[in-house]
Amino acid sequence: MTHRFRRMPGGAAARVIAAAVVLVAGAGWALTVILSPAAGVSVSDDFTLVTAVEGDVGAHLTLNVAAQWNLQAVGTNEAAGVVTSVDLGPGQLVDEGARLYSVNQRPVVVAEGDVPAYRAIGPGDSGADVAQLQRMLARLGFYGGDAGAAGDSGGAGGAGDSGGARGAADSGDGGDADGHVGASTVAAISAWQRSLGEDAGAEGASASAEGANATVAFGDVIFVPRLPARLALKPDVVTRGATLAGGEPVLQWLGESPVFTLPVSTDQSALVSTGTRVLIDDGSGDTWQAVTAGRAESTSGTVVVALVPAPTDATPPSDAAAPAQPPGSANGAQAGPICAADCDAVPVVGQTLFVSRVVTVETAHGTVVPSAALRSTADQTVIVIDAGGSEHAVRVTTASQGLAVVSGIDPGLVVRVAIDAGQGDAASVVTGPAATTPAIAP
């Protein structure tokens, strides 16, 4: 059955559902049989007989994982008027020149730059903001940089400058930006504005008129520290028909990926060590893989365990949670987002819960016997005793919930299971963590 994710109401603490599962493929017995032998099974005063089988033993907790984008404000609107279109989808991955919205049918686009827009940019202007604009124009194919001896520093030359729109000298990376609006930049701005008009239909009249003097109006471009990036408009501010006055924070950066956490109780926390695998159902039939890292206790008493992407090698995760990095920062040594290429499945606003399996005991395959069949000798050798009383040395691979996978014997061997393993000179051997009440799945 596929579990669909559901939205957490009002930021309330996640409601967790815990269970442990032990699988015994093809087993002819289960824990209930061990505790209460079926009719016809040989039973003495000290033991019952059980046949070892081939199967799998493992355990997991079924819990809710919480995912939430760490929204950070990165852009302010400076255009005044009525919002005539909203072009950016929530959490959309965008690059240089992408249209965000339109005000009075004039497009507002995004570009990369550390200096926020603070003025109109036109012929003769110089500065870091001009260089940012030139880099955007170059990456869009409109600006080729200093193509002649005089270059852009020669002033507000005409469109005849050989470094004009979509010139062959385009570097593609904006490396030739000189920070001065000269002839090449004037031509590039005009061509770019005409392209916006061609794409936008009726909006072209506004862009073409401005292109006559090649001025980028204050509010035409919002600079953000890094692109490409996942961005979202504030839905309570930028809506079709809304009136903007300028100065409104409107653009948010979502981060490289949502932040994933695992809320657990104190008892459950004892079962979840650092590096525990977590398999997250994305709600559409696919599985995201993560591992546990740092943890902190919330004000409600719940322990919040941080999750990081499952490593691509055997390197264990850091015991400290990895915070979201702002635009322009490195993302560390993580293998990539937990949600991989499907992070759109996490809504932009609020916290979303996904059903997950927290693997407390990794599943192992082999010969399965009840843990009560395991005994230790005086020299600490682990053994099982067959129906005839002969001892067989075994090695325990894993154990959980009264079952153990062992090597050293083959499936089909009939072994003794002590009725009361706590009595006599041979104590049963139980390994692996304690867990909640098991469910046996044949």
Does residue 159 carry a pLDDT above 70? no
Mean pLDDT lowest for which of 58-67, 289-298, 408-417? 289-298
pLDDT of residue 386: 96
Query: In the 3-class helix/strand/coil scheme, how is the chain assigned residue by residue?
Result: CCCCCEECHHHCCCCCCCCEEEECCCCCCCHHHHHCCCCCCCECCCEEEEECEEEEEEEEEEEEEEEECCCEEEEEECCCEEEEEECCCCCEEECCCCEEEEECCEEEEEEECCCCCCCCECCCCECHHHHHHHHHHHHCCCCCCCCCCCCHHHCCCCCCCCCCCCCCCCCCCCCCCCCECCHHHHHHHHHHHHHHHHHHHHHHHHHHHHHCCCCECCCCEEEECCCCEEEEECCCCCCCCCEECCCEEEEEECCCCCEEEEEECHHHHCCCCCCCEEEEECCCCCEEEEEEEEEEECCCCCEEEEEEECCCCCCCCCCCCCCCCCCCCCCCCCCCCCCCCCHHHCCCCCCEEEEEEEEEEEEEEEEEEEHHHCEECCCCCEEEEECCCCEEECEEEEEECCEEEEECCCCCCEEEEECCCCCCCCCECCCCCCCCCEEEEC
Mean pLDDT, the chain, rounded, equals 78
For residue range 127-154, list pLDDT tens digits in order.
999 999 999 999 999 998 755 434 455 4
The reported pLDDT for the residue numbered 45 is 62
pLDDT for the residue numbered 415: 96
Provide the pLDDT confidence category of residue 397 given band limits of 50, 70 and 90: very high
Higher pLDDT, 357 or 35: 357
pLDDT of residue 351 exceeding 80? yes
The confidence score (pLDDT) of residue 213 equals 63
Lowest-pLDDT range of 2-6, 139-143, 243-247, 394-398 = 2-6
Predicted pLDDT of residue 300: 78
pLDDT digits (tens, 9 = 90+) for 214-233: 899 999 999 999 999 999 99
pTM confidence score: 0.68
